[in-house]
Amino acid sequence: MNKNIGSKKIIISNPLKLDCGKEINNFPIAYETYGELNSEKSNAILVFHALTGDQYVSGKNPITNKDGWWSYVVGENKPIDTSKFFVICANVIGGCMGSYGPSTINESTGKQIGTDFPIITINDMVNAQYELIKYLEIEKLFAVVGGSMGGMQVLQFVANFPNKAKLAIPIACTSSHSAQNIAFNELGRQAIMADSKWENGFYSNYKLNPDKGLAVARMAAHITYLSEKGLQEKFGRKLQDRDSLRYGFEADFQIESYLRYQGSVFVDRFDANSYLYITRAMDYFDLSKQYKGNLSDAFKKSKTKFFVISFTSDWLYPTSENREIVIALNSIGTDVGFVEIESDKGHDSFLLDVPSFLKTLGDYINSTYKIINERRI
Amino acid sequence: MKEEFNIISNLIEENTRVLDVGCGNGDLMKFLQKNKTKDIRGLEISKEKVQNCLSKGLTVIEGNAERDLKQFPKSSFDYVILSQTLQAFLNPELVINELLKVGKKVIVTIPNFGYWRVRLQLLFKGTMPVTENLPHEWYNTPNLHMCTIKDFYNFCSTKNIKIYKSIALKKSRISEINKSNLNYKNLDSHLGIFLIES
């Protein structure tokens, strides 16, 4: 299941102490890069992926043969222009695209690690990726950028490494996973664990895959990424390949067919245990708690410039939660910009073709890059 | 506009921290960035204008001054500017108080409703004034609380707000406002610019 065709990979030999208390070492990080690092090494942007993302930000994803997950944002002449910037993205630990995760083969047993894999956190993910930046010998990143769980990693990265990035752009995220967020993640995990083929996480030993459970998890989550208005406009009560109701439990409605499709393609590319581990990491994320309830303290040592973005129809990580990050930054005088982008596309807006988002993000990154470089001269 | 920017710029010391409340498309921010200080932020209610500012690389936050000024710590800016926006708030008094908390000094500019051209329209035409500086009709104006230079001057003395400097602008003519010429300046100026402190 652990696929990493064509991906760059390094083995981190430094021991990494995880939040759960365990220590890992000699573990793989799979990553991709786009564009060229300039001679001053001043044009590097580290992109963090979301729950079901991977290192294939742009271009063709070799696993799915589809466009990379952030093709609207990253690429030549895109908002993050790879003819100008050197873009790095790593698969998070816990993931299933080549980095150390539950589907990694344990060399001593020859079997997948499964649920013997330690519980990881957003903090652990970020610390692992820091090793990659060290390996690439980049003293200072121009920017760290990410949406959703990627945004959480942006916040954690700046908190852990206050002066490693000049600019931080957390998008559609939160500093603390809400009860509603945890509830939806728990629903997904229970769907996976209720699948009889899950086998307590050791399904690969039996050549099984809890794909039904994972598909249900994906279907439920997918709804949370959209908005009521978006769903209504796209699907309404339209029927799927039929003129009338069939009076049965087949997918009569287009929305049912769409969700079933989303579930079925997801299981081909994602590992069920990774879904459990990564959603858990998100649930455990509470940055202000790490700083004794004062979120501002997480950023106090940093001179990083921030740009926070939210979307009007995102009810999973609503504007109010993004604003809390802005308030915490303002209260310590951080250079922070903020805008809520108008969009009907729900939480997924950051991944989709939302022109005002793409334009603002691109213009902001480019003019900030220019301003920072001018100042240095 | 240019005259107002020049006057505001002259009131600001170099390399200080500035917040522009109601920064619009960021024209004043750009002007001050070029002439006075790099450390300038903006607060703006319109999404479109916020996006315009951010596109230029300006640090702007989408927000409402009546609600969102609270998040800035006391005296966290050397200057807070409110350019021709006070009249658009539901509660201008609250906004002034918030500005005085956040800024060590506050610069407020006011389109003067006491300007003789404005007065004449109401007096002779009997209709709500529409001028170059106040281009809206009564039914679509964003201006809820119009005031005159004299009103603002009196407001400051009633509320014990210290006026450091008060400047009247007529077309491109600049003059100082003081107690003795207040009535005249109130009649003959289209814009008042005040540097105040709590």
Q: How confident is the model over A36-45, as pLDDT tens digits?
A: 999 999 999 9
- Burial pattern A58-94, b for ≥16 Cβ within 10 A else e, equals beebebeeeebbbbbbbbeebbbbbebbbbbbbbbbb
At residue A376 the predicted structure's pLDDT band, cuts being 50, 70 and 90, is low
Residues from chain B contacting residue A359 (CB–CB below 8 Å): 51, 55
Percent of chain B with pLDDT strictly greater than 70: 99
Q: Note the pLDDT tens digit of each residue in B119-162.
A: 999 999 999 999 888 899 999 999 999 999 999 999 999 999 99
Q: Mark yes or no for CB contact A336/B76 under 8 Å.
A: no
Does A117 score more than 90 pLDDT? yes
Does A363 score more than 70 pLDDT? yes
Does A1 score more than 70 pLDDT? no
CB B5 within 8 A of CB B83: no
φ/ψ bin of A346: left (φ > 0), alpha (ψ from -120 to 50), beta (otherwise): left
Q: What is the mean pLDDT of residues A67-96?
A: 98
Q: Note the pLDDT tens digit of each residue in B16-75.
A: 999 999 999 999 999 999 999 999 999 999 999 999 999 999 999 999 999 999 999 999
Does A279 score more than 70 pLDDT? yes
Across chain A, mean pLDDT equals: 96
pLDDT at A7: 83
Residues from chain A contacting residue B47 (CB–CB below 8 Å): 339-342
Q: Mark yes or no for CB contact B72/A367 under 8 Å.
A: no
Residues of chain A with CATH 1.10.1740.110: 182-279
CB contact, 8 Å: A305 with chain B?
Answer: yes
Does A2 score more than 70 pLDDT? no
Judge if ipTM > 0.85.
Answer: yes
Q: Mark yes or no for CB contact B51/A305 under 8 Å.
A: no
How many other C-beta atoms lie within 10 A of the C-beta of residue A336? Answer: 23
CB A158 within 8 A of CB A302: yes
Residues from chain A contacting residue B59 (CB–CB below 8 Å): 305, 335-337
At residue A80 the predicted structure's pLDDT band, cuts being 50, 70 and 90, is very high
At residue A373 the predicted structure's pLDDT band, cuts being 50, 70 and 90, is confident
pLDDT at B1: 63
Distance of CA A181 to the CA centre of its chain: 15
Q: What is the mean pLDDT of residues A94-106?
A: 97
Reported as type and span, the H/E element at residue A303 is: none
- The tokens describing B37, both together, are 């200080």
CATH number, domain A182-279, options 1.10.510.10, 3.30.70.100, 2.60.40.10, 1.10.1740.110: 1.10.1740.110
- Nearest residue, CB atoms, B51 vs list A305, A360, A368: A360
Residues from chain A contacting residue B50 (CB–CB below 8 Å): 338-339
Q: Note the pLDDT tens digit of each residue in A208-257.
A: 999 999 999 999 999 999 999 999 999 999 999 999 999 999 999 999 99
Q: Which fold has domain B2-197?
A: Rossmann fold (3.40.50)
User: Could you give phi then psi for residue A227, rounded to 5 degrees?
Assistant: -120, 160
Smallest CA–CA distance from A363 into chain B, residue = B55
Across chain B, mean pLDDT equals: 95
Does A317 score more than 70 pLDDT? yes
Does A87 score more than 60 pLDDT? yes
CB contact, 8 Å: A327 with chain B?
Answer: yes
At residue A3 the predicted structure's pLDDT band, cuts being 50, 70 and 90, is low
Q: How many CB pairs under 8 A join A and B?
A: 61
Quote the crossing angle between the two packed helices A179-194 and A272-283, to the nearest 10°. 160
* Neighbouring-strand partners of residue A249: none
Domain ranges of chain B: 2-197
- The tokens describing A285, both together, are 């994320």
pLDDT at A30: 98
Residues of B with CB under 8 A from a CB of A: 17, 38, 41, 47, 50-51, 53-63, 71-73, 76
CATH number, domain A8-177+288-376, options 3.40.50.1820, 1.20.140.90, 3.40.50.1860, 3.30.70.1350: 3.40.50.1820
Give the C-alpha separation, B138 to A277, whole Å: 60
Q: What is the mean pLDDT of residues B166-174?
A: 94
Give the C-alpha separation, A148 to A170, whole Å: 8
pLDDT at B132: 84
Q: Note the pLDDT tens digit of each residue in A135-170.
A: 999 999 999 999 999 999 999 999 999 999 999 999
* Higher-confidence position of A6 and A120: A120
pLDDT at B134: 85
Give the C-alpha separation, B18 to B31, whole Å: 12
Radius of gyration of chain B (CA): 16
